[in-house]
Structure 1
C-alpha cells in the first residue's frame, strides 16, 4: 500500500540528471524530502503501542466491560492518529506556496508573500525539545520581515543527516526561486 505522505516522490541524488523540481504536477502539495529515522521510529513505536491497546480493548470487550473497552478503543485510535500526524509533520511545497505542518498547527504562506528562502546559522531546538543547540535553519522571510522557520538540521528528520538537510534546503529554495516571482 503506497503511503505518499511517508516518502518523497523520487529519491534525490540518485541520478546525474536530477533537476531541482522533479515533479510533474506542481499544484499538488509535496514534501521534497524523506522523513527521518527519528520521526519514523517514533511513529512506529506509537503504532506498536496502539496495537497493544487495541488488543486490550478487544479482550476487555470479550470480558463484558464495554465502557472500559470503549476507553481503550478511543485511546488506541488516538495513538494511531498521533502517529499519522507525526509522519505528516514537515515542510510541504507546491506552486501555491510553502506549508509548515506541525503536530497541532499548520502554517501556509503563499509564494507571493515570501521575499526570500534562505539557510541561516542560529540556535535551533534539538528534536523539538526546549533545549537549543547551534545549528542551521531554513527560514522563509515574509515581505513584512517576519521569518517562518521551516526546517532545522537538528529536528527529527535531519538529526545526524547533514547531507539530507542540505538537499532538502536546496530543494525548498529552488521551489521558492521558481514561484516567488510568479
Structure 2
C-alpha cells in the first residue's frame, strides 16, 4: 500500500522536475511542505499517554464510584485527545489557493494574491514557542495591505529544532509556492 503522505513515497518522475515546488500532481489539495518534528510528535505522544491514564481512571471511577465523576474524567480525556490531535495538525499548509497557518485555537488562510513577499530573515526567534528568544531564522510573510504576519516558521520551533536543513527545505518550498502562485 503506497503511503502518499510520506516524502520518500513521492513520484520520482515529478520529483525530478525543478519547476514544481512540491512534487504532487494535485496542487489544489492542502499540504504541509515538511514533516512533523520529533518535539511536536513527542509532546503529542505524552498528551495521548496522559489521556490513556485518564480513560483508565474513568473506568475505575465508573466501577467504584459515582458516574458523574467518571463522566468528568472521560470529558477531560476527550479534551486532551482533541488537544493532541490539534497539536499534530498545527503548522503551515500550502495549496494553489493560498497559504494556511493552523494554530492551536484558530486557522488563518491567506490567498496568494494577498501576499506580497515571503522571505527568510535572521532575527531573534522564540525557542519552542516559549517566551525565551534565541538568535535564529524565521520565515516572514509580508502582505500587500496591513501589517506582516507573525513568523510562519522558525528554525527553533517544535518541527525544526536541531534540524536546520529541514527548515531550509521547508522555507525554500514555501517561497517557491509563493513565487509560483503570485
Q: TM-score normalised to the size of structure 2?
A: 0.89
Matched, 1:10 2:19: no
Report how far residue 17 of structure 1 moved: 2.2
Report how far residue 146 of structure 1 moved: 2.3
- The aligned residue for residue 102 of structure 2 is 101
Deviations 1:134-181 (A, max 9, x none): 11000111012522221000100000100000010011111111111x
* Aligned-partner SS, 1:176: helix
Matched, 1:36 2:37: yes
Matched, 1:110 2:107: no
Matched, 1:179 2:181: yes
- The aligned residue for residue 158 of structure 1 is 160
Higher-helix-fraction structure = 2
Q: How many residues align?
A: 176
Which runs of 5 or more residues in structure 2 are unaligned?
Answer: none
**CA–CA distance in 1 between the matches of 2:3 and 2:42?**
16
Matched, 1:123 2:124: yes
- The aligned residue for residue 167 of structure 1 is 169
Change (3 A) 1:55 1:31: same
In angstroms, what is the RMSD of aligned CA positions? 2.3
Q: Is the 8 A contact 2:119 2:141 kept in 1?
A: yes
Mean Cα deviation higher: 40-49 or 12-21: 12-21
Report how far residue 12 of structure 1 moved: 9.3
Q: TM-score normalised to the size of structure 1?
A: 0.89
**CA–CA distance in 1 between the matches of 2:85 and 2:123?**
30
Report how far residue 66 of structure 1 moved: 0.3
Which runs of 5 or more residues in structure 1 are unaligned?
Answer: none
- Structure 1 runs, 4 residues or longer, greater than 6 Å off: 12-16
* Aligned-partner SS, 1:124: strand
